[in-house]
Structure 1
Amino acid sequence: MQEVLNMIINTIKNISIWSVLDILVVSYIFFKGYMLIKETRAEQLLKGIALIVALLPISYLLRLDMLYFILSKTITIGVLTIIIIFQPEIRRALEHIGRSAFDDLHVMQDDEALEEVITELVNAVANLAETATGALIAIEQSTGLGEVISNGTELDAKVSSALLENIFVVNTPLHDGATIIRNDRIVAAGCVLPLSSNTSINKKLGTRHRAGIGLSETSDALIIIVSEETGTISLAVNGRLTRNYDKDKLKSILMRIMINRREKRVKTLGEKVKVWITKIKRQK
C-alpha cells in the first residue's frame, strides 16, 4: 500500500502544465465523441464493447480459458469491426470536424435580406400547416448539400411563399421530397434525404420526419417539417427534433440560430487572422 501511495505522490509531483493540457484535450475529445454517439445505435454497441473489455481480465484471473480465448480473438479483430459498425457515426464525426472556419457559410450577411427570406419561408410553412399539406424544407448552412441537390430537380429561383406553397401541392411532380434553400434561392426540389437510423425516434413519426432528422444528423442544415396528418410544424437541428411551432416562434428561432452561427464564425475567423498576423510579424 505504501508503495502505491508513493507512486501516486511521485506522479502528482511530476505533473506539468503540458500534462494537464494533455489530459484536458483527451477528455474533451472523449466528451465530444460521446455527444456524437449519444442516443444512437453506437451508444448501445459501445456499452457492449466496454463489457467485453471488462470481462477479459476477469476471465484471465478466473482461468476461464475458453472465454478468455474468445474475448481476446474478438478484440484482435475489433478495430476493423468497429470501423464497419460505426461507419455512419465515423462519417458524421469527420464531417463535424470538417466544418472549419474555411467552410463556405451559407448565411446572408445582411440582416434585412435574411429576415425577408425567413418571412417568406415561415409564411409558406404556416399556410401549408393550416391545410395540413406535408412539406420538407432544408436551409443549407456551412455543410454543402451538393449530393442532396444533385438527386433532385434544380430550380435556382428566388425564395417566395407562393412558390414554396406551389411546390408542395399534393400530386404535383415536386411535392414528394425535400426543397433545398441556399441563401435567398430555392436551389432544388424533390430531393431524397437520408433516413435517420436512430431507434429512439417516436414511432408515430413518419418517413418525412425521419428524413429531416437524418439530414440534420449528417449536416448542420436547418430542416423544417410540416406533418400531412396533423399540420404540426417541426424543426430538426443537429439530429434533434422539436415540434409544435407557430409562425412567430419559427421565425424567431430561425433568425436566432442563423445570426448566432454567422457571428460565431466571423469571430473565429477574426481570431485566426490575428494569430496569422502575429506569426508573420514574429517571422519578420
Structure 2
Amino acid sequence: MLLQFFGFLNLSFTDILDILLLAIIIFVAFKWIKGTSAMSIFIAIILLYIIRVLVSSFNMRLMNAMMETILDVGVLALIVIFQPEIRKFLIRLGNNMKNKHGRRIFNLILGHNTAGRDESEAVNEITDACSRMGEEKTGALIIITHNIPLDDIISTGDNIDASIHRRLIMNLFFKNSPLHDGAMIINSSRIVAARCTLPITSKTDIPANFGMRHKAAIGITEESDADAIVVSEETGSISFVRGGKVTKINNINELRLLLNESLTM
C-alpha cells in the first residue's frame, strides 16, 4: 500500500483513480441537474452515501446494514425520480457523440446540396417575419427540428405542410388567429404544424422576465436537438434557444447567421 489515511484507509493508485472517476461523475451530474427540482434529492443521496462509507469504515454493523438497505432500495426510486434528467442526459449524449457534419457529407456524396436555395429562402422568410413581429410585439414560438423526430409534439397541434413564407408565419401568430397560441414546427424547410404544445423546462434559475414561450423553448431544446426562436409579446425582443441555452438577438444579421446554421444541420 502506498498511502495510509487515518490508519484505516489504505489507498493505492487504483483507489485514487477510482475516487477521481467518481468525483468526475458526481461533478457532471451536479452540473447537469443544477437549477432543477432534482438538485435537493441529489444532494441528499450524496450525503447518504457518505454516511454509508463512514459507518462501514468504523465497522458499525447495524448502521451499515440499514444504510445498505436504504441505498439498495433507493436505486429503483432514483430511476423514477430522475427519469426526466436521465432522458435528457441520454439524448444530449447521443447528440454530442453524433458527427453533426455527417449528414451534410452524406448528402454531398449523393449530390444533394444541403445549403441550397430552399434553405436560403427559408432563412430570409423567417428572419423577416421575426423582425416584423418583433417590431409589432407579436408573440411567436418557432421550432426547427433536426435529427430527433418530434412526432409526439406535432400530434398535439394542427398539421399544415406548407412552404415557409413570412406572411404565413405572421398570420399564424396574429393575436386573433386560432393558431397563434402554441408553437410552430419547421421540418425539412417546411412548416409542418402549428398550435403545438411543448414541454416546460423544470429549471428554477431562469430569469424572471422569461415567460411561458421562453420556458417552453428551453424545455423542448433540452429534450431534443431542435432549435427554437422566441419573439417576446411584451418587449418584442427576439431570442434563439439551443440546448436549453437562450441567446438574445441584438441585430437581425445575428439571427440570420444562426438560422442559416440551424436549417443546414
The answer as to 2:75 corresponding to 1:79 is yes
Measured in 2, the distance between the counterparts of 1:258 and 1:217 equals: 18
Shift of the 112–33 alpha-carbon distance from structure 1 to 2, 3 Å rule, reads farther
Say which structure is richer in helix.
1
Tell me the secondary structure at the aligned position of residue 190 of structure 1. Answer: strand
Shift of the 67–236 alpha-carbon distance from structure 1 to 2, 3 Å rule, reads farther
Shift of the 25–145 alpha-carbon distance from structure 1 to 2, 3 Å rule, reads farther
Residue number among 139, 144, 154 corresponding to 2:159 in the alignment: 154
Q: Which moved more, 1:99-108 or 1:242-251?
A: 99-108
Name stretches of at least 5 consecutive residues in structure 2 with no aligned partner. 108-112
Give the structure 2 partner of residue 174 of structure 1.
Answer: 179
Q: Which moved more, 1:170-179 or 1:33-42?
A: 33-42
Deviation digits for residues 93-115 of structure 1 (CA, Å, limit 9, x no counterpart) = 23334557599969971344322
Measured in 2, the distance between the counterparts of 1:241 and 1:47 equals: 27
Measured in 2, the distance between the counterparts of 1:142 and 1:151 equals: 20
Give the structure 1 partner of residue 49 of structure 2.
Answer: 53
Paired residues in the alignment total 251
Give the structure 2 partner of residue 243 of structure 1.
Answer: 248
Counterpart of 1:115, as a letter, is: S
Tell me the secondary structure at the aligned position of residue 236 of structure 1. Answer: strand
Measured in 1, the distance between the counterparts of 2:172 and 2:3 equals: 74
Name stretches of at least 5 consecutive residues in structure 1 with no aligned partner. 13-19, 263-284
Counterpart of 1:89, as a letter, is: E
Measured in 1, the distance between the counterparts of 2:221 and 2:70 equals: 34
Deviation digits for residues 3-38 of structure 1 (CA, Å, limit 9, x no counterpart) = 8699847x69xxxxxxx9x99999987776555434
TM-score, normalised via structure 1 length: 0.74
Counterpart of 1:182, as a letter, is: N
TM-score, normalised via structure 2 length: 0.79
Tell me the secondary structure at the aligned position of residue 242 of structure 1. Answer: strand
- The CA RMSD measured in Å over matched residues stands at 3.7
Give the structure 2 partner of residue 129 of structure 1.
Answer: 134
Measured in 2, the distance between the counterparts of 1:193 and 1:199 equals: 17
Shift of 1:46: 2.3
Give the structure 2 partner of residue 232 of structure 1.
Answer: 237
Measured in 2, the distance between the counterparts of 1:187 and 1:161 equals: 15
